[in-house]
Structure 1
């Protein structure tokens, strides 16, 4: 397992961001959990079957786990990339399955969809971690 500045950047920046997001969601109020759950269920319908409390724990612990995997140097980059790829796939599923997020062509982001469309960068980082050399 060699050290690479490029791999470190690919892991540290999204890892810190996602970890911070997960920590910020710990103990989120029920109303916030319900709002996030409704949005998440548009991309991953099974998430709608959880209680808001279960969803809040799932999303906060999940983000913490993905962020920590990216930041922990002992986690192989392909495993960290797979975790990030799974996270990005969920975010992009919400984007593509919610018509309000895209323009009429179903691809370009609407004003409301810009924040989620940016998660395509996370998918690109995941691909680089999984398939990149070294």
Structure 2
């Protein structure tokens, strides 16, 4: 199964971005991993049970895996779109739940929230890959 040409730019851009982010986190020290975990706790309090270094490793491995999946041409776009939608959806949820990230309206980003608000684009890409099914030919009777 080949990548549809219309999906190529979506998969390359998001895959390279996420892969680079994950590779950058592979050697996180405990302090930086703890900062990321503290941010994540705003939306996902269950993560408090993990050690900061383990959280950092899991996050980096997840991003590397997702980024590589998006860049792998033989994986179906709907499958990687589902994974990207789940990942980006959790990032958007994190953005919406973290105090100080949004203006008083709860949607528009503050200066501090802009870095997380950009994940809405990843969510849109994931949904486009997930929902863009092949057109089926009608069978004439």
Scaled to the shorter chain, the TM-score interval is over 0.9
Matches of 1:2 and 1:12 in 2, distance apart?
A: 14
Counterpart residue number, 1:73: 73
Give me the whole-angstrom Cα distance separating, in 2, the residues matched to 1:72 and 1:45. 33
Deviation at 1:6, TM superposition (A): 2.1
Match of 1:117 in 2: 117
Where does structure 1 lack aligned partners over 5 or more consecutive residues?
none
Question: What residue ranges of structure 2 are gaps of 5+ in the alignment?
Answer: 135-141
Aligned residues: 134
Q: Is residue 96–residue 106 contact of structure 2 (8 Å, CA) maintained in 1?
A: yes
Task: Give the match for residue 100 of structure 1.
Answer: 100
Question: What residue is the counterpart of 2:23 in the other structure?
Answer: 23
Task: Determine the C-alpha separation between the residues in 1 that align with 2:3 and 2:20.
Answer: 24
Q: Is the 2:101–2:112 Cα contact (8 Å) retained in structure 1?
A: yes
Q: How many Å apart are 1:3 and its aligned residue? A: 4.0
User: Equivalents in 1 of 2:117, 2:52: separation in Å?
Assistant: 25
Q: 2:100 is paired with a residue of what secondary structure?
A: helix
* 1:45 Cα offset (Å): 1.7
Distance in 1 (CA, whole Å) between partners of 2:68 and 2:13 is 12
How far residue 42 of structure 1 moved from its aligned partner, in angstroms, is 1.1
**Native 8 Å contact 1:44 1:90 kept in 2:** no
How far is the alpha carbon of 1:48 from its aligned partner?
A: 2.1
2:26–2:60 CA contact under 8 A, matched in 1: yes
TM-score w.r.t. length of structure 1: 0.95
Q: Which is helix-richer, 1 or 2? A: 1
Equivalent residue number for residue 126 of structure 1 = 126
> Please, which moves more after superposition, 60-69 or 1-10?
1-10
Moved >6 Å (runs of 4+):
none
